[in-house]
């Protein structure tokens, strides 16, 4: 039997293999699902989508993929029991392809594979959609050749797509069919038709994948996610990917990575010296500077393991008092999926600043409410969400979370605490006004006027 190193060229079905096709579709449907409080199972949604997409591709093989998605969108929602979308909503669904996220191991693996193989795209999308993906979540990776369904005029599993690719790589690279490996997740779109034209294939098994599965699996090599990472020198620590992130803002990324491995002064990071409320109040520019590289840091496993719930809480405080409320959503989501972080286990910071202390206590109490709301909907911190088949099904049971006891003893902000604050942030009855139309009752109990909608985004 031939070995992987005997081949010269890998062809990738990008969506489902390199890009989280299913996650991207579900994310693009969240507006419709959330607006109508629909709790449909992931499996049901994806099965309905896959059948509609497959039938439409066979019916209109020349249709551009973004237009095809927009075309099936109204029928998809109808079959899911949801209201008919507007034309703008269907167009947005079709254009969502370019925003679908790459799997975490994708770009690092491509960089390693490119040292040994020509890498070719054989995708069912259109040129414009793929260009957006390549510039976005694939970080501009330079594939050797890109072939889309739009170039061919048909969609996989049509074997003409594979014949077109074989002809193209023969002409451009002098690669014979026996030197080509189809690398894909979908049995339906890739492995079965590749077998029909004599192409060997590598099955990339993405755990939990629904679409493209067939009972009769065919492949020459099978790589589970962990083996895919191992073959490409990747580990759960994602050291290479961490270096890529660190290069964005460190002159010596390797030194910065090594420092992340050194438990000094302790393994868990201490809370940085917090900014005084009066210094960061309404100071969006300061907050933007503080958050400039936070997304990169949160993507580094070593940094996440050394981060703490208290540090996250202080980041929420700074986002709120600076007026940069949009940073609360991602921070809440990050906290939620740090499943070993316990709200009840948050220790009393005993903060010396009464305004900051009051905001921190309110945040903890409101996070308890927000997290229980998520649990009531069936969301789970380990990502094993429980989805209802229809909106009429009963909500799943859950064990409510509770918060720490220290927050109950944190006093409200007094008028004296606000003496140095600008008048536009102090109401006539001596309350701290962070949002003039704020109605949240938890914060109101400590004389803070604000809303907390960003804690409830999903």
CA pair distance 367, 372, nearest whole angstrom: 8
C-alpha distances in Å from residue 300, one per residue of 119, 125, 238, 257, 261? 27, 31, 7, 10, 12
Sign of CA dihedral 313, 238, 22, 214: negative
CA pair distance 234, 236, nearest whole angstrom: 7
Name 305's Cβ contacts closer than 8 Å, sequence gap at least 6. Answer: none
For residue 302 the two structure tokens come to: 């070593």
Specify the DSSP class assigned to residue 193.
H
Of 455, 448, 453, 437, which Cα lies nearest the Cα of 355? Answer: 448
Residues recognised as catalytic: 13
Q: Report the alpha-carbon angle 454-457-458, nearest 5.
A: 155
CA pair distance 177, 216, nearest whole angstrom: 24
Specify the DSSP class assigned to residue 124.
S
């Amino acid at each position: 039997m031939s070995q992987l190193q005997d081949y010269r060229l890998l062809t990738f079905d990008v969506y489902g293999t390199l890009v989280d096709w299913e996650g991207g579709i579900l994310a693009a449907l969240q507006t419709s699902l959330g607006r109508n409080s629909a709790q449909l199972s992931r499996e049901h949604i994806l099965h309905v989508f896959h059948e509609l997409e497959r039938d439409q591709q066979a019916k209109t093989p020349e249709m551009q993929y973004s237009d095809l998605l927009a075309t099936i969108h109204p029928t998809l929602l109808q079959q899911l029991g949801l209201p008919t979308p507007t034309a703008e909503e269907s167009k947005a669904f079709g254009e969502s392809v370019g925003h679908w996220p790459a799997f975490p191991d994708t770009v690092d693996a491509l960089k390693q594979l490119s040292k040994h193989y020509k890498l070719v795209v054989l995708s069912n999308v259109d040129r414009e959609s793929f260009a957006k993906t390549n510039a976005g979540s694939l970080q501009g990776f330079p594939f050797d050749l890109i072939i889309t369904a739009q170039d061919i005029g048909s969609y996989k599993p049509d074997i003409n797509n594979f014949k077109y690719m074989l002809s193209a790589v023969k002409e451009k690279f002098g690669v014979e069919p026996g030197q080509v490996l189809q690398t894909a997740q979908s049995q339906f779109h890739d492995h079965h038709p590749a077998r029909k034209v004599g192409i060997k294939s590598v099955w990339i098994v993405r755990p939990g994948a629904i679409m493209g599965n067939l009972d009769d699996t065919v492949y020459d090599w099978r790589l589970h996610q962990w083996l895919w990472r191992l073959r490409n020198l990747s580990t759960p620590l994602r050291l290479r990917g961490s270096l890529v992130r660190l290069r964005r803002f460190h002159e010596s990324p390797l030194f910065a990575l090594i420092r992340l491995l050194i438990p000094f002064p302790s393994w868990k990071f201490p809370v940085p010296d917090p900014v005084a409320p009066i210094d960061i109040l309404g100071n969006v520019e300061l907050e933007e500077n503080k958050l400039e590289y936070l997304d990169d840091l949160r993507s580094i496993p070593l940094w996440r393991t050394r981060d703490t719930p208290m540090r996250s809480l202080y980041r929420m405080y700074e986002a709120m008092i600076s007026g940069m409320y949009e940073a609360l959503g991602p921070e809440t989501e990050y906290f939620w999926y740090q499943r070993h972080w316990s709200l009840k286990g948050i220790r009393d910071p005993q903060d010396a600043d009464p305004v900051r202390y009051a905001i921190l206590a309110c945040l903890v109490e409101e996070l308890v409410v927000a997290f229980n709301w998520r649990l009531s909907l069936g969301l789970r911190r380990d990502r094993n969400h429980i989805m209802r088949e229809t909106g009429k099904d009963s909500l799943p049971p859950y064990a409510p979370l509770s918060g720490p006891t220290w927050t109950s003893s944190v006093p409200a902000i007094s008028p004296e605490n606000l003496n140095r604050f600008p008048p536009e942030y102090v109401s006539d009855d001596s309350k701290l006004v962070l949002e003039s139309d704020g109605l949240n009752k938890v914060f109101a109990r400590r004389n803070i006027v604000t809303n907390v909608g960003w804690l409830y985004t999903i």
